[in-house]
Each structure stands twice: as structure tokens, then as C-alpha cells.
Homo-oligomer: A and B are copies of this chain.
Amino acid sequence: MKIALAQLNYHIGNFDSNTAKIIDAINKAKQNGADLVVFAELAVCGYPARDFLEFKEFIGLCEEAAGKIAEACTDIACIIGLPTVNSKPEGKDLNNSAYFISEGKVQARVDKALLPNYDVFDEYRYFEPSTEFKCIDFKGHRIALTICEDLWNDIENPLYITRPMDTLIEQQPDVMINIAASPFAYNHDEERIDILRDNAERYKLPLFYVNQVGAQTELIFDGGSLVFDSKGELLDEMPYFEENISYYTLNDDSTVTFEHEKRIKPNRASDIEQIYQGLILGIRDYFYKSGFTRATLGLSGGIDSAVVCALAAEALGPENVLAVLLPSKFSTDHSLKDAMDLVEALGCKHETVAIKDITDAVETALHPQFKGLPFNIAEENIQSRSRAVVLMAICNKFGYILLNTSNKSEAAVGYGTLYGDMCGGISVIGDVYKTQVFELARYINREREIIPENTIVKPPSAELRPDQKDTDSLPEYDILDRILAEYLENRCSSSEIIQMGYEEATVRKVIKLVNIAEHKRYQTPPILRVSPKAFGMGRRMPIVGKYLS
């Protein structure tokens, strides 16, 4: 049996485009002599469709698309993922399902049993878990078909009571197929390989795994579909961050062979290379799927906006990126020069709009209220917000989307101005710690100096008051980022972090800063997720709660 794995980039709710893409892949697979072509979890509607799933019309459109796809399945079978109406009289309205289609008809339906409901996942919000498991017979093979999380129940620390494969294995299948929508995080590819290998070893069956690729707002799907033999050996790894269709033969003795070159890298891509590729895909798909082509951003001469500008130029083309220099009276000459050097290296467009007259006008208007009071955070924020007014006016006038340039470290400690530099349609590096931003800059410069060396080596500063430096009010970034990772990713408390050896006063200050910034993060743009724990839908904190100290 020749099996095609179709790793495609879907668009949530875009049934025309998703259906056309699926049918096109079916036709290609047919031409290539495949007997079966396998698509990802919820391929028909895209993942995560979120509360679209609560519209009956949406579910009807999924079924309609499945009908069109079935019509294309003559002389070939396919497996597609889609939401279906729960067939039982009790429980949630829907199942997260796979259709096995052949001879132009849906021959079997498999429902997902293990529904992730942690971090970015909300599957219990919509779906009823399956409790019945049945293999599918096709061309002399017996397929144990499961959906994503169904294979992710850790033996050591089980998150769910059931394990669908424990029931399916009793029916003596000779192959496992798993369709997935498994979002990217820089450390997720190896974990995924380990868990799937563990399944192949445990059940002594070859395993075909198909993931989605492409970004849906904040969630980036990285592809990297996998094939294992019945001993758990990884036979092939499909490309990351791009669409691909690959072909494999499942032989009668359950061995798997294929004609293309095996694509397992001897060394895995570094975290930073993966983050870079993920962000490029994230930016590109955000614009493409929103129907926009052009981005703008404020370019300060600092490293954050420089990295975002370089990423945007790569993702959208430099001709579609407008860098706006917005000097204030505190901007240094070297900052403007660094910004212009970057613009030249990238070849993107630029404009300069000085904000001094705007901030002066605001301060004059507020003089009756503010007179006699010292310059403080209010005046700093006036600068940042005046820049936002200018950038958003440019967006409104010319149809750009503003890119937010805040990094994860400053988003964490609230080092940013709400409605000022925290503006934007999408946050590009809001899940990238400052220390990783430096690594990204070095990676971007791997072949030639794009980001000026001076931008990389100078001490970070918001330049909102004279001679300001980030370290005036924050610890050094290498310390800060490690404390943040313990708190945000590992859910350690202050006292636990102090016990690790960090200075008590620093830890308490950092954690307090994170906690009092919840109300600011609530109003920030969606953040491209590249780590296992990003701000946004994956981290849901109370706003008026009294925080752990």
C-alpha cells in the first residue's frame, strides 16, 4: 500500500481554499500511484477554529467540504480531519473526528478520545471525547487511526485515564496512523519524536504521523511529519515550516520503504534557527491570511525593532516594509544612524517623523494640570504614545499593519507603554527573551552584517529620559531571563527561585513586576508563540487577583 502524507498549510474557516488544496493533493497523490493520502487533524476547517465551532453553519460547511473531497476520492482513499456532530445524545455537541474516505464515500469515522485542555488548548470547550475504538481495514492492512493527543498519554505521569491504542492493539492492526495539529515551540520537535517513537516501540507497529504547517494568528504549526518503523526507528522526517507531500510504501510484512532521500538531519536545527524560521512563517501567514501585504514599525536604532524589521523584510520582502524613525529630544544621534544603517542594509522603505512638537503640544495642553510637578513616567509615556499615534495614523492612511516590537522579557516585567510601544497588529518577538533577541540578531547576521554591530553591542535603552539604560531599573538580562523562565515556564514561586541561588531582592522585584503587569499584557496584541509557554491564550491569569509574592 502506497501512502501519501500531505503536510499542508490551512486557513481557519477558509473552506474554498482548504478544500481546493486538499483535492489538489488528492489528485497529485493519485497521479503518483498512492492508495491512500493522509491529511492533518481538522484540516477541513483549520486549527484552532475556536468559537467558530459553535456555529451550526460552520459545522455544516465542514460537512459540505467533506462531501466535495469524497467526490474526488475515486481510485484513492483519504483520511481528513474535521469537526462532526456528536452522534451520542449526551455530552458536548461535537467530536473532533477523522473521516476515512474511499470509493467516493465516507467509510469510517474515528473520534478523538484524549482532548488537550491545557496551555493553548481548549478542546473540551467544544468536543466530547470518544470512548469507542475501532480499526479500519483497507487493502489488506488494518489501520489503527488516532488523532494527535490520542498518542500523547505519558506512561509515567498519565494525564488521561484512557489510552486509545491499548484498545485498538487488541484488534491486531499492522500500522498506526496519527493525524495532528501540533503547534511549534523551539523544544517541541524532539519531544514529539520521543513520544511517537515510544508508541511505535510499545505497540510494535510502524507509525505514520501527519502534522499541519502554517501559522494561525499566534499559533505556528511547524510540520515535520514523521514515519517510524515497528521497532521505533525514525525512518523519515518531513520538512519543517513548509508544505510537502511525501510517499511511502507499507509492505505486507509491515516494513516501510520509500524512494526519496531520507531527511533526518544528523544535527537538529538550533533553537534560534527554529525560532527564526517559525517567526518568518508566523509573520508571512498573519499578513497573507489577513489579506494584507505591507508592514510598518517604529525603528529606534535598538536591537528589538532592528530584529523585527529584518524578520519582516525576510517574510514580506523589503519593499513591503516601512520603517519609521520617530526621534524625540532624548534620541541619540547614534540611534538614528544605526536605524538608517539597517534600513540601507535591508533595502526597506523609511520615513522620519520627529515627535518633539507633538509631545510639546501634549505637555502644553496638560500644563494647567501638571505645572510644578516633576518629569516622571507620565512624560516618558507621552513620548511612547505620541509615536503610536503617528504609526497608527500611517497604518490608517496607507493600509499597513503595525508590527509590535516588544520582547518577552520586557512584556514580562511591564517595561513598555500601554497604547505606546505595546501597540501593533501582531507581536513578533513577544515570546522571545531579550537574550534570545541578541542571538537572533547574530543569526540574522550569519552571512553579512544586516543588523549594525553597534545596535547589538550598545547597552539597551528606551531613550525616554536622558542617559536612560534598561539596567537602571531592571537586572542584567541574562539574570532576568533565567528568573522569568523559572516563574513563567516552570511555575516556580519566588521562594523556590531564591532557593536556586538567585539574589532574594532581585527575585522578589522581578516577580512583583511580572505580577503587576497582568493588566497591561491583557491588552497587548497576539504574540507569535515559539516557546512552550507564551503570553496570551496559553497563560491565563487573573487581573485583580492578589499575586503570589
Q: Which residues of A contact B (CB under 8 A)?
A: 11-15, 17, 46, 48-52, 54-58, 61, 89-92, 117-118, 122, 124-125, 158-161, 216-217, 285-286, 289-290, 351, 353-355, 357-358, 360-362, 364-366, 368-370, 373, 376-379, 381-382, 385-386, 388-390, 392-394, 396-397, 418-419, 423, 425, 491, 493, 495-496, 519, 522-526, 537, 539-548
- Contact, CB under 8 Å: B366 / A390: yes
A517 to chain B, nearest CB (A): 13
6 sample A-B contacts, Cβ–Cβ < 8 Å, listed by A number: A52-B542, A52-B545, A57-B496, A91-B159, A217-B544, A351-B368
Bound complex: CA A91 to CA B163 (Å): 12
Given contacts A13-B546, A526-B522, A540-B51, contact A369 B397 (CB under 8 A): yes
Bound complex: CA A379 to CA B12 (Å): 33
- Contact, CB under 8 Å: B392 / A55: no
Q: Contacts A11-B545, A289-B546, A358-B365 given; 10 further ones with Cβ under 8 A? A: A11-B546, A13-B547, A50-B540, A54-B491, A90-B161, A370-B397, A382-B389, A418-B423, A522-B525, A537-B540
Measured CB to CB, the nearest residue on chain B to A290 is B544
A90 to chain B, nearest CB (A): 4
Contacts of A379 in B (CB 8 A): 393
Bound complex: CA A385 to CA B420 (Å): 10
A57 to chain B, nearest CB (A): 4
- Contact, CB under 8 Å: A56 / B491: yes
Candidate in A50, A373, A544 with the most chain B CB atoms within 10 angstroms: A544
A21 to chain B, nearest CB (A): 13
Contacts of A17 in B (CB 8 A): 546
Contacts of A385 in B (CB 8 A): 385, 388-389, 392-393, 419
Kindly identify which residue among B122, B396, B541 contacts A540, using a CB–CB cutoff of 8 Å. Answer: B122
Kindly identify which residue among B91, B394, B418, B496 contacts A161, using a CB–CB cutoff of 8 Å. Answer: B91
Query: Closest 7 CB pairs between A and B?
Result: A57-B493, A12-B545, A361-B361, A378-B396, A14-B546, A124-B124, A378-B397
- Contact, CB under 8 Å: B493 / A55: yes
Contacts of A523 in B (CB 8 A): 523-525
Measured CB to CB, the nearest residue on chain B to A538 is B51
- Contact, CB under 8 Å: A393 / B381: yes
Candidate in A217, A289, A393 with the most chain B CB atoms within 10 angstroms: A393
- Contact, CB under 8 Å: A392 / B388: no
A95 to chain B, nearest CB (A): 14
A323 to chain B, nearest CB (A): 13
- Contact, CB under 8 Å: A362 / B390: yes
- Contact, CB under 8 Å: A12 / B544: yes
- Contact, CB under 8 Å: B394 / A369: yes
A62 to chain B, nearest CB (A): 12
Given contacts A158-B91, A419-B423, contact A382 B393 (CB under 8 A): yes
Given contacts A54-B491, A161-B90, contact A49 B545 (CB under 8 A): yes
Contacts of A495 in B (CB 8 A): 57
